[in-house]
Structure 1
């Protein structure tokens, strides 16, 4: 269970974080949240899919690491086998918090229940004088990037809905052991509908800054085949 608290030098002077990779540190997940501002970097490595939260009638973008809960096919003997890790993974165990949902104030919070926290962690958060280390400064900048991306996500998904560019996606995954996995409950860009948009609609998307993320999300789908190959190698290797 998470245990979020505001990060302060007085309370967390000796806090240390593990920089390694692996299920031990909470990396055993099939996906993480990403944001349109990050799509260009994410699409080089991972499929980008969308998931609808029916209770809030809102979409979230996800960078996919596997096909089953708890499966991260990019983990390999303590290494993350990709040129880029999404911000939502890189900033852990930190997050942005607000005093209240309506507040515009932002504070750096830390999840004290995170497995990345430990006395033998290799990264210090504050120095001996209680000042942020270069590590914390870097994380703070990444938190800011992610928070700004969150703020722009609603407009992005509103534009996709306005132009009917989101469609449900069902993927069948043929595996070397003869079984077939199915990836369901996700959405993706409707390429045919995108091709049908007239110049005015494309200009609107471009003017609002949404066209590039749309193309990046669409291009990322080519990574599904690579992810399937990772899955089959994992099965073959036992």
Structure 2
């Protein structure tokens, strides 16, 4: 955890935020309420926290670590997940804290406070993102726990071949098993439906088709850079 400071105008009036900060994020955590929006543009898959082994959901934005195929110039033109919006900001004892040394803060960025000490649109977006994560993380953990209970999460094999002869294999990713979902007893399926989990499961599984688009983007850039 980086060194944090509680955010206030007196201490951080000159703080400026670089919004073109998505270029190296290839996998961004999302919460359940974001999945219907994010899934229109990105594959949504599950992976495991390396420290706890717990599953979490994320938007796949790159096929290789450190590369975002949707934000070549660092700007993300499409849906921007809350975890990406709040880069450099954290929730500490119910208040927003900031890590001033985070590379997201640059002299030429967007101001966080205006001259009157009020939150700028950039900070308002961060505040909204923190609210989304605050309510969404526990809800998503509960949803994933139900998926695990019903054995609905399974590993997914993604191997991609490119025109230059290279091959990429994406490891450590998981998806919803529609076969297992369809085999659920009626009572369990009805419970997932009433909780909204069933909709999320189908949306997540359908979003995998975006992987093909990402492979085309990478293939085009291989030859554009040659």
Structure 2 length-normalised TM: 0.91
Q: Is the 8 A contact 1:26 1:115 kept in 2?
A: no
Match of 1:171 in 2: 158
Match of 1:180 among 142, 167, 176: 167
Match of 2:82 in 1: 87
Q: Is the 8 A contact 1:40 1:216 kept in 2?
A: yes
CA distance in 2, matches of 1:6, 1:30: 29
Q: Is the 8 A contact 2:91 2:130 kept in 1?
A: yes
Structure 1 length-normalised TM: 0.87
Q: Deviations over 1:172-207 (max 9, x none)?
A: 011111121100111111121112223222211122
- 2:122 pairs with 1:126: no
- 2:70 pairs with 1:74: yes
Greater share of strand: 1
Of 48-57 and 225-234, more deviation after overlay is shown by 48-57
Unaligned runs of 5+ in 2: none
Structure 1 segments, 4+ long, off by >4 Å, are: none
Match of 2:193 in 1: 206
CA distance in 2, matches of 1:223, 1:26: 19
SS at match of 2:157: strand
Match of 2:41 among 41, 45, 65: 45
- Residue 16 of structure 1 and its aligned partner are, at CA, apart by 1.6
CA distance in 2, matches of 1:233, 1:27: 18
